[in-house]
Chains A and B, each alone.
Chain A
Amino acid sequence: MRHLEELPHTADLGFRVRARSLPGLFYWAGRGLLAAMFEGPLPPPHGHRILRLSADDLETLLVRFLNELIYLALTREEVPVGLAIRLLPGDRGCALEARLAWVPFSRVADRFLGEVKSATFHGLKIEKTDAGYQAQVVLDV
């Protein structure tokens, strides 16, 4: 299965993400975001962090997850290099627990491709397919 496919978006950056499971879809969306921000293989992790998020629906959860990764990388300067994701039933809607392995931004600054401002809701719909799940992600860069 081809997990990430770039969309021909000229101004911003978009990709279609596919995975066999929902946690897989979140994982690959995270990988797609990080590939937009950093090039090449990233070094082994320096630290770990547990991330817990919830939302009313899966699309909002995905946007929130991606925006959390942007925040961690660019504000906290903790660049995620490893992601392990579990989806959980939330009080309302859905929730996610992710274990993030990260490196300091300074260690990957030479591989930085440019800022991503935010993940957007533009055209975002998580769909069930015969092979699993797919979604379109558009990032404002």
Chain B
Amino acid sequence: MSVPFEKIAPYTYRIPRHGKMRVDAVFYASETILRQLEEEDYASLKQLVNVATLPGIVEPALAMPDIHWGYGFPIGGVAAMDADEGVVSPGGVGFDINCGVRLLRSSLSKEDLEPLKERLADYLYARVPAGVGSERRDVRFSRRELKDVLREGAQAVVTRGFGEPEDLEFIESRGRLPGADPDRVSPRAMERGAPQLGTLGSGNHFLEVQYVDAIYDLEAARAFGLFEGQVTVLIHTGSRGLGHQVCEDYVERFLKRLSLYKIELPDRQLAAAPIKSPDGDDYLRAMAAAANFAFANRQLITHFTREAFEAAGFAPRDHGLRVVYDLAHNNAKFEEHKGRGLLVHRKGATRAFGPGHPELPRVYRPVGQPVLVPGDMGRYSFVLAGTRGAMEKTFGSSCHGAGRRLSRAKAKKLARNSDIVGELARRGIVVRAKTRATVWEEIPEAYKDVSEVVEVVHGAGIGKKVARLRPLIVVKG
């Protein structure tokens, strides 16, 4: 089955409402991305069409240019639901609730770092737990403290000395989603999450030390505190096993209630319940708790990163590590767009509020929200800024990354025949990883060139290029 679509503006395509779709769908793509969509037999566009059938969806169902085939929702999908009439779908948030990225800036230049790069890589690897079963035995949380984290998010760990109060100002929603209720989180989710607070995980999660190698928008870069040659740190992780279990619990629960709520689904992974129902409310409160866990997780890793820089020989006044921004790319949030209350699901998509939005830190309001777009560990990542165009067209949303080009099996097959770590070292990138397999899966060739995605975002006006970051150290689980 093919999917009908038409070009309506530069880089912008519309799938007209057909079949059981309740609204049109819109996606963003270049010619290259269109060919990639065709190569996967439009599997991700079919998923976007499925999303457009959900009750209460507000036009249009959206996909960002890093769209690719997921489960239920496409990755890169954005679905805004009417806050009164719509549904909430745990699959529209994903298993890794509030998976996201945090960018730190430093006072160091690439030249300052170079002599101590290997040493810093060792300390980061030692201090930031990565991989299954890894934890900091000196940083533990009681059950009561864990509940505080679920209610209060990043604030709960800053209060306990892990970070600076100033960090909170530069986290989406100040690192705390309101309404979180730990009692809506199952005992198994708590069990899975308890030892994982302050851990990176494995798979595509990482910590990268990078440097700014290009500035495209000086005004925005200045507002974000970025300058050419500057050392930065990008942290990518989420809510770990706690979030995975919350999603599992509520997908199953919602599937049982579909007939009660008279919801018909083209794919069971889209399981949903009305926002204004006891089931919907329970999920939203559990999801907020998991999101708060993720904000606290990235906060702890920020603290461990500062520790590692200090252990490597950079005094706090020298490294000057500060949070540029922390944002979620798997979430559902209540927002107001064009005067209407909506619950915006972003699954592999980033909130990208434009200039002047009152939710942004005061220093960023003139230029818009930082949008952090990781690429792959061999090339580069980007910092963009949210735009008025995004507010107008995409419910204030933008892309979240490069998107995979190769399956994990194909990537591993390719990587087995080469010395990836050695090749990256020759390009000046130091890798520390728990397992070879994780590095193999994540080789640069496994990913599309993120600049292709970024050019579409920039060209379509749903994000503005600010800076490009190149990796120096990669830490993986």
A69 to nearest B CB, angstroms? 13
Task: Using CB atoms, name the residue of chain B closest to A138.
Answer: B71
Whether the pair B72, A10 counts as a contact (CB closer than 8 A) is: no
Whether the pair B404, A10 counts as a contact (CB closer than 8 A) is: yes
Chain B proximity mask over A107-141: 1 for CB below 8 Å, otherwise 0: 00110111101101111100000000000001011
Task: Using CB atoms, name the residue of chain B closest to A121.
Answer: B268
A59 to B408, alpha carbons, bound, how many Å? 25
Residues of A contacting B409 in the complex (Cβ-Cβ under 8 angstroms): 6
Residues of A contacting B271 in the complex (Cβ-Cβ under 8 angstroms): 121
Is A2 part of the contact surface with B, judged by Cβ < 8 Å? no
> Contacting B404 at CB < 8 Å: which of A11, A60, A77?
A11
Given contacts A10-B69, A121-B268, A138-B71, contact A115 B405 (CB under 8 A): no
B146 to nearest A CB, angstroms? 15
A117 to B72, alpha carbons, bound, how many Å? 15
A92 to B138, alpha carbons, bound, how many Å? 47
Task: Using CB atoms, name the residue of chain A closest to B94.
Answer: A140
A114 to B95, alpha carbons, bound, how many Å? 16
Whether the pair B132, A112 counts as a contact (CB closer than 8 A) is: yes
Task: Using CB atoms, name the residue of chain B closest to A7.
Answer: B407
Residues of B contacting A63 in the complex (Cβ-Cβ under 8 angstroms): 252
Residues of A contacting B94 in the complex (Cβ-Cβ under 8 angstroms): 140
Whether the pair B202, A75 counts as a contact (CB closer than 8 A) is: no
A6 to B201, alpha carbons, bound, how many Å? 25
Given contacts A105-B133, A121-B268, A122-B267, contact A71 B192 (CB under 8 A): yes
Whether the pair B244, A118 counts as a contact (CB closer than 8 A) is: yes
Q: For chain A residues 1-59, which have a beta carbon within 8 Å of chain B?
A: 6, 8-13, 39, 56, 59
Give the number of residues in A that approach B within 8 Å (Cβ atoms): 36
Whether the pair B132, A74 counts as a contact (CB closer than 8 A) is: yes
B374 to nearest A CB, angstroms? 14
A8 to B43, alpha carbons, bound, how many Å? 11
Residues of A contacting B96 in the complex (Cβ-Cβ under 8 angstroms): 117, 140
Whether the pair B75, A11 counts as a contact (CB closer than 8 A) is: yes
Whether the pair A12, B405 counts as a contact (CB closer than 8 A) is: no
Given contacts A59-B268, A60-B255, A75-B191, contact A105 B132 (CB under 8 A): yes
Give the number of residues in B that approach A within 8 Å (Cβ atoms): 45
Is B406 part of the contact surface with A, judged by Cβ < 8 Å? yes
A9 to B406, alpha carbons, bound, how many Å? 9
Whether the pair A10, B244 counts as a contact (CB closer than 8 A) is: no
A17 to B247, alpha carbons, bound, how many Å? 24
Q: For chain A residues 55-108, which have a beta carbon within 8 Å of chain B?
A: 56, 59-60, 63-64, 67, 71, 74-75, 77, 105-106
A52 to B44, alpha carbons, bound, how many Å? 36
> Contacting A75 at CB < 8 Å: which of B40, B75, B192, B406?
B192
Whether the pair B441, A121 counts as a contact (CB closer than 8 A) is: no
Task: Using CB atoms, name the residue of chain B closest to A10.
Answer: B404
A35 to nearest B CB, angstroms? 10
Residues of B contacting A115 in the complex (Cβ-Cβ under 8 angstroms): 132, 201-203, 477
Is B414 part of the contact surface with A, judged by Cβ < 8 Å? no
Given contacts A10-B406, A10-B407, A12-B71, contact A77 B133 (CB under 8 A): yes
Residues of A contacting B70 in the complex (Cβ-Cβ under 8 angstroms): 11-12, 122
Whether the pair A10, B405 counts as a contact (CB closer than 8 A) is: yes
Task: Using CB atoms, name the residue of chain A closest to B446.
Answer: A10
Residues of B contacting A114 in the complex (Cβ-Cβ under 8 angstroms): 202-203, 408, 435, 437-438, 441, 477
Given contacts A9-B69, A114-B438, contact A109 B404 (CB under 8 A): no
Q: For chain B residues 432-464, which have a beta carbon within 8 Å of chain A?
A: 435, 437-438, 441
Is B20 part of the contact surface with A, judged by Cβ < 8 Å? no
Whether the pair A118, B269 counts as a contact (CB closer than 8 A) is: no
A77 to B192, alpha carbons, bound, how many Å? 11
B452 to nearest A CB, angstroms? 15
Whether the pair A10, B203 counts as a contact (CB closer than 8 A) is: no
A67 to B252, alpha carbons, bound, how many Å? 12
Residues of A contacting B244 in the complex (Cβ-Cβ under 8 angstroms): 117-118, 140
A126 to B437, alpha carbons, bound, how many Å? 31
Residues of B contacting A67 in the complex (Cβ-Cβ under 8 angstroms): 248
Whether the pair A124, B403 counts as a contact (CB closer than 8 A) is: no
A64 to nearest B CB, angstroms? 8
A134 to nearest B CB, angstroms? 17
Task: Using CB atoms, name the residue of chain A closest to B435.
Answer: A112
Is B256 part of the contact surface with A, judged by Cβ < 8 Å? yes
Given contacts A114-B435, A114-B441, contact A11 B251 (CB under 8 A): no
Most buried by B among A9, A64, A109, A123: A9
A49 to nearest B CB, angstroms? 16
Is B400 part of the contact surface with A, judged by Cβ < 8 Å? no
> Contacting B68 at CB < 8 Å: which of A11, A109, A140?
A11
Whether the pair B95, A117 counts as a contact (CB closer than 8 A) is: yes
Whether the pair B71, A140 counts as a contact (CB closer than 8 A) is: yes
Known: A60-B255, A75-B241, A122-B269. 18 other contacts (CB 8 A): A8-B40, A10-B40, A10-B405, A11-B75, A60-B252, A64-B252, A71-B192, A71-B245, A74-B132, A75-B192, A113-B438, A115-B202, A117-B244, A118-B244, A121-B267, A138-B71, A140-B96, A140-B244
Residues of chain A at the chain B interface (Cβ within 8 Å): 6, 8-13, 39, 56, 59-60, 63-64, 67, 71, 74-75, 77, 105-106, 109-110, 112-115, 117-118, 120-124, 138, 140-141
23 contacts between A and B (CB under 8 A): A8-B407, A10-B40, A10-B68, A10-B405, A10-B406, A12-B69, A59-B268, A75-B192, A75-B241, A77-B132, A113-B435, A113-B437, A114-B408, A114-B435, A114-B438, A115-B203, A118-B247, A120-B91, A120-B269, A121-B267, A121-B268, A122-B268, A138-B71
